[in-house]
């Protein structure tokens, strides 16, 4: 009986190691860690600096329900006085991407296919003003300036790197966003607002996931009141 119990216990342990564990969005703050130099983007061979930043992880939908570990997203943030760096590490079930884009990789309506997204609000006193950045598994991107009356191209000058591992059903995207595209006077003591999202699927119902749930009846990421906090740490 003891032997059987031990075998059963080992089986459970091995099974738990093989399957991704349910992820959580319980934290409401992401910390960007300062790096001493500008880093080179290489999603396939990421710079060791990324390991200095604690990740936030999510896999539940935009309401904070129906977690799917097979679609887990992990986000890390780094910064220098000139650049904000973001790294998405994404699991996926199926892949749906556009095949066409502008010559520089920009793709209008990129959110109609699979993407990872970040919304950034450097000035929380203006709750209806923020920036939106998206990157797809095949390296397409879009950046937008969001304001009460609509949106426009931000033309931030971002750069990116993407790595897709079809065998393991994972992809990673790194973004480098110039600080001057986010704020005129960067203050590392300031607390920004931010949220991270994923979209997967070719048509409705698609899987819309969020770090900080928006709680809307229908999928909607544009809820600034639901944003979490982004703090800047100097080391």
Q: Where are the domains of the chain?
A: 30-233
Average pLDDT over residues 130-140: 98
Give residue 22's pLDDT. Answer: 66
Percent of the chain at pLDDT > 90 equals 88
Work out the pLDDT band at 24, boundaries 50, 70, 90: low
Is pLDDT of 23 > 90? Answer: no
pLDDT higher than threshold 80 for residue 18:
no
Instruction: Give the pairing type, strands 29-34 and 228-233.
Output: parallel
Nearest to 23 by CA among 164, 173, 209: 209
The answer, yes or no, to whether residue 201 has pLDDT greater than 80, is yes
How many other CB atoms sit within 10 Å of the CB of residue 26? Answer: 8
Q: How far apart are CA 173 and CA 138, in angstroms?
A: 9
Residue 70 main-chain phi, psi, to 5 deg: -75, -5
Mean pLDDT on 128-136: 98
Torsion of CA 185, 140, 207, 230, to 10 degrees: -20
User: In whole numbers, what is the pLDDT of the chain averaged over residues?
Assistant: 92
In the block, tokens 């790294």 appear at 87
Q: What's the rounded mean pLDDT across residues 101-118?
A: 98
Q: How far apart are CA 218 and CA 123, in angstroms?
A: 27
**Residues listed for the chain:** 235
CA distance 83 to 115: 22
Mind listing the pLDDT tens digit for each residue in 149-189?
999 999 999 999 999 999 999 999 999 999 999 999 999 99
* Other CB atoms within 10 Å distance of the CB of residue 69: 13
Would the pLDDT of 75 be above 90? yes
User: Among 197, 177, 196, 194, which Cα is nearest to 230's?
Assistant: 194
Mean pLDDT, range 38-60, rounded to an integer: 98
Q: Hey, which CATH number is domain 30-233, 3.60.15.10, 2.60.40.1190, 2.60.40.420, 3.20.20.140? A: 2.60.40.1190
Region 191-211: mean pLDDT is: 97
Residue 15's pLDDT is what?
40
Per-residue pLDDT band at 7 (split at 50, 70, 90)? very low
What's the pLDDT at 26? 81
Residue 21 pLDDT class (50, 70, 90 cuts): low
**Residue 20 in this model has a pLDDT that exceeds 90:** no
pLDDT score recorded for residue 3: 44
Query: Given this model, what pLDDT does residue 235 score?
Result: 79
- Beta-bridged to residue 29, according to DSSP, are 229
* Mean pLDDT of the region 225-232: 98
Contacts of 234 (CB under 8 A, 6+ apart): 34, 188
Q: How much of the chain exceeds pLDDT 70, in percent?
A: 90
Backbone phi and psi for residue 233, each to the nearest 5 degrees, phi listed first: -110, 135
- CA atoms of 18 and 109, how far apart (whole Å): 36
Residue 72 predicted with pLDDT over 80: yes
Tokens representing 125 are 């006193």
Place of tokens 């080391």: 235
Contact 79/182 with Cβ under 8 angstroms?
A: no
Place of tokens 């995207």: 173
Alpha-carbon distance of 122 to 129, in angstroms, equals: 9
């Amino acid at each position: 009986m003891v032997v059987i119990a031990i075998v059963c216990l080992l089986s459970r342990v091995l099974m738990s190691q093989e399957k991704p564990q349910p992820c959580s969005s319980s934290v409401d703050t992401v910390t960007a860690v300062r790096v001493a130099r500008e880093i080179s983007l290489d999603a396939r061979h990421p710079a060791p600096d990324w390991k200095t930043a604690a990740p936030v992880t999510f896999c539940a939908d935009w309401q904070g329900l129906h977690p799917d570990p097979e679609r887990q997203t992990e986000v890390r943030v780094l910064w220098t006085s000139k650049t904000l760096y973001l790294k998405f590490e994404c699991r996926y079930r199926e892949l749906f991407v556009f095949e066409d884009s502008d010559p520089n990789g920009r793709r209008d309506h990129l959110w109609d296919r699979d993407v990872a997204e970040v919304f950034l609000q450097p000035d929380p006193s203006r709750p209806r003003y923020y920036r939106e950045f998206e990157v797809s598994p095949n390296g397409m991107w879009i950046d937008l300036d969001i304001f009460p009356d609509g949106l426009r191209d931000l033309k931030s000058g971002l750069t990116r790197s993407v790595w897709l591992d079809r065998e393991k059903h994972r992809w990673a995207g790194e973004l480098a966003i110039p600080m001057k595209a986010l704020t005129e006077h960067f203050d590392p003591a300031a607390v920004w607002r931010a949220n991270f999202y994923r979209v997967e699927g070719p048509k409705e119902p698609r899987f819309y996931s969020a770090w900080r749930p928006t709680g809307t009846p229908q999928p909607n990421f544009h809820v600034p009141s639901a944003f979490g906090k982004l703090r800047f740490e100097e080391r």
